[in-house]
């Protein structure tokens, strides 16, 4: 009978204790590192990542989602757990994102519509591109989710404006003259503009207002746009005969994160601010905006001026998908997708400078044309991303 080796027994016991301690530490780490569930499940939704181009990574998707939510007014505190990934699914917590005060019920209603869709029931999530396409590019939803003033008088009540105005004779946006009013309040909340499109000429006092466009800043540092008719009611788009301004989503695309100075105007009109004074005013206001943005602690870094393109790529790739994206989205071979597209005699179109810079591909299809071929029904977005649309989703409330 062999005697017990005390030293060997002690080593084994020590190893067991070490492994037990390591397992306990790992368990504690996993439990402490796992984000808590959303405080309000009605403000949370699962989204599905469909890769849009070969070099797209999760970091691009995160940045794109943060910018899209920021365009819609979310504060996105730097320490908040807004996105939680599970493979190719990500849980979005809009409560943690701190959407605009007073818009929570509108967000809840939109999320209920998404969750009730056949797409959500079949896949367990909503395509990230669809989520942004519907929420950001639908004018009525943009107004409600970003907290745009429901009427023009309500917008005016939030700001003060100078009595002297700006006359733009050669506009890069309007087909004719453009009349602009500038806000006079202090700080970021005082930075505001109103542009009037119309007919006639400012120089001979025959100008007649027809469309109203407003610009202001939200407390998260992003621009917020509104389009109104002369009765003060919100419009989904400007009047094409008067201007190329389009929808709020086009305003966002054109301005990016800036106040734009006059690009074309060279004619000054007596009694109005000169073009030079307008440029100087815009430069001064942008300094106010820049100082304010630097004080924020947000997931959106305004110093990275091209990060917003990640948001645009997410909704543009959904609105103008390739056959490869559709195959990934629908869970079928590319050859089968191409056959389905041929049944409707759909032919791809090349990208354009307006749509993207080529990163999304050169053989694109229109979402409104391919939706009928999808294996499930999803929440339908507008018929056009940035221009006046034949179809716009209705207001939520």
Query: What is the predicted pLDDT for the residue at 29?
Result: 44
User: For residues 164 and 207, what is the distance between their CA atoms, to the nearest angstrom?
Assistant: 16
- Who contacts 278 (Cβ-Cβ below 8 Å, separation ≥6)? 166, 180, 261, 262, 265
What confidence tier does 2 reach under pLDDT thresholds 50, 70, 90? very low
What is the rounded average pLDDT of the residues 234-247? 95
pLDDT tens for each residue of 128-177: 999 999 999 999 999 999 999 999 999 999 999 999 999 999 888 999 99
Kindly provide the b/e burial profile for residues 149-159, where b requires at least 16 CB atoms within 10 angstroms of the residue's own CB. Answer: bbebeebbeeb
pTM of the model: 0.89
Instruction: Using the predicted structure, report yes or no on whether residue 235 has a pLDDT greater than 60.
Output: yes
Query: What is the predicted pLDDT for the residue at 330?
Result: 97
Does the CA dihedral 360-363-368-374 come out positive or negative? negative
What confidence tier does 75 reach under pLDDT thresholds 50, 70, 90? very high
Query: What is the predicted pLDDT for the residue at 132?
Result: 98
* Rounded percentage of the chain residues whose pLDDT exceeds 90: 81
- The encoded tokens of residue 108 equal 């809840």
Query: What is the predicted pLDDT for the residue at 223?
Result: 96
Query: What is the predicted pLDDT for the residue at 9?
Result: 45
Kindly provide the b/e burial profile for residues 183-205, where b requires at least 16 CB atoms within 10 angstroms of the residue's own CB. Answer: beeeebebbbbbbbbbeeebeee
Average of per-residue pLDDT values in the chain: 90
- The encoded tokens of residue 1 equal 């009978």
pLDDT tens for each residue of 22-37: 555 444 444 446 778 8
Query: What is the predicted pLDDT for the residue at 265?
Result: 80
pLDDT tens for each residue of 35-61: 788 999 999 999 999 999 999 999 999
Query: What is the predicted pLDDT for the residue at 28?
Result: 45
CA neighbor of 369 nearest in space, from 388, 355, 390, 386: 390
Answer whether 261's CB lies under 8 Å from 277's CB. no
Q: Between the CA of residue 302 and those of 191, 220, 223, 232, 307, what are the distances in Å? A: 17, 11, 12, 32, 8
User: For residues 164 and 147, what is the distance between their CA atoms, to the nearest angstrom?
Assistant: 28
**How many other C-beta atoms are found inside a 10 Å radius of the C-beta of residue 289?**
19
User: For residues 145 and 138, what is the distance between their CA atoms, to the nearest angstrom?
Assistant: 10
Query: What is the predicted pLDDT for the residue at 389?
Result: 93
Task: Write a three-state SS string for 31-89.
Answer: HHHCCCCCCCHHHEEEEECCCCCCCCCHHHHHHHHHHHHHHCCCCCECCCCCEEEECCE
User: For residues 263 and 277, what is the distance between their CA atoms, to the nearest angstrom?
Assistant: 14
- The encoded tokens of residue 269 equal 């009109």
What confidence tier does 271 reach under pLDDT thresholds 50, 70, 90? very high
**How many other C-beta atoms are found inside a 10 Å radius of the C-beta of residue 76?**
22
- Strand order through the sheet with 126-127: 83-86, 89-93, 44-48, 126-127
Q: Bigger pLDDT: 18 or 346?
A: 346
**How many other C-beta atoms are found inside a 10 Å radius of the C-beta of residue 31?**
8
Q: Bigger pLDDT: 141 or 186?
A: 141
What confidence tier does 211 reach under pLDDT thresholds 50, 70, 90? very high
DSSP one-letter code for 122: H
Estimate to the nearest angstrom the gap between the alpha carbon of 135 and the chain centroid: 8
Q: Which residues pair with 208 in a beta bridge?
A: 199
Instruction: Using the predicted structure, report yes or no on whether residue 322 has a pLDDT greater than 50.
Output: yes
pLDDT tens for each residue of 95-113: 999 999 999 999 999 999 9
Q: Between the CA of residue 152 and those of 165, 382, 388, what are the distances in Å? A: 18, 24, 20
User: For residues 134 and 124, what is the distance between their CA atoms, to the nearest angstrom?
Assistant: 18
pLDDT tens for each residue of 352-368: 655 556 688 889 999 99
């Amino acid at each position: 009978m062999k005697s017990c080796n005390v030293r060997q027994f002690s080593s084994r016991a020590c190893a067991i204790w070490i492994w037990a301690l390591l397992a306990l530490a790992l368990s504690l780490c996993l439990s402490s590192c796992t984000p808590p569930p959303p405080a309000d499940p009605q403000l949370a939704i699962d989204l599905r990542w469909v890769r849009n181009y070969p070099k797209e990574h999760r970091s691009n998707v995160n940045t794109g989602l943060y910018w899209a939510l920021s365009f819609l007014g979310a504060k996105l505190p730097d320490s908040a757990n807004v996105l939680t990934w599970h493979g190719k699914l990500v849980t979005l917590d809009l409560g943690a994102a701190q959407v605009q005060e007073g818009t929570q019920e509108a967000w809840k209603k939109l999320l209920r519509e998404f969750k009730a869709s056949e797409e959500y029931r079949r896949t367990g999530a909503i395509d990230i591109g669809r989520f942004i396409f519907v929420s950001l590019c639908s004018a009525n939803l943009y107004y409600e989710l970003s907290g745009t003033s429901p009427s023009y008088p309500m917008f005016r009540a939030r700001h003060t404006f100078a009595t002297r105005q700006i006359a733009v004779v050669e506009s890069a946006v309007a087909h004719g003259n453009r009349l602009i009013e500038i806000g006079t309040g202090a700080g970021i909340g005082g930075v505001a503009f109103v542009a009037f499109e119309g007919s006639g000429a400012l120089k001979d006092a025959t100008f007649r207002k027809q469309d109203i466009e407003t610009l202001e800043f939200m407390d998260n540092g992003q621009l917020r746009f509104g389009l109104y008719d002369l009765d003060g009611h919100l419009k989904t788009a400007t009047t094409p005969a008067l201007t190329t301004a389009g929808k709020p989503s086009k305003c966002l695309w054109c301005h990016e994160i800036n106040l734009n100075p006059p690009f074309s105007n060279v004619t000054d009109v007596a009694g109005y601010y000169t073009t030079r004074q307008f440029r100087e005013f815009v430069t001064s206001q942008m300094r106010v905006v820049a100082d304010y943005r630097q004080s924020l602690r947000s997931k959106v870094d305004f110093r990275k001026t091209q990060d917003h393109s990640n948001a645009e790529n997410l909704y543009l790739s959904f609105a103008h998908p390739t056959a490869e994206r559709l195959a990934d989205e629908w869970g079928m071979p590319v050859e089968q997708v191409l056959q389905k597209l041929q049944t409707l005699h759909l032919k791809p179109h090349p990208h354009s400078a307006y749509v993207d810079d080529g990163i999304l591909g050169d053989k694109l299809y229109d979402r409104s044309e391919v939706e009928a071929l999808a294996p499930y029904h999803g929440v339908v977005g507008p018929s056009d991303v940035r221009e006046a649309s034949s179809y716009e989703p209705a207001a939520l409330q």
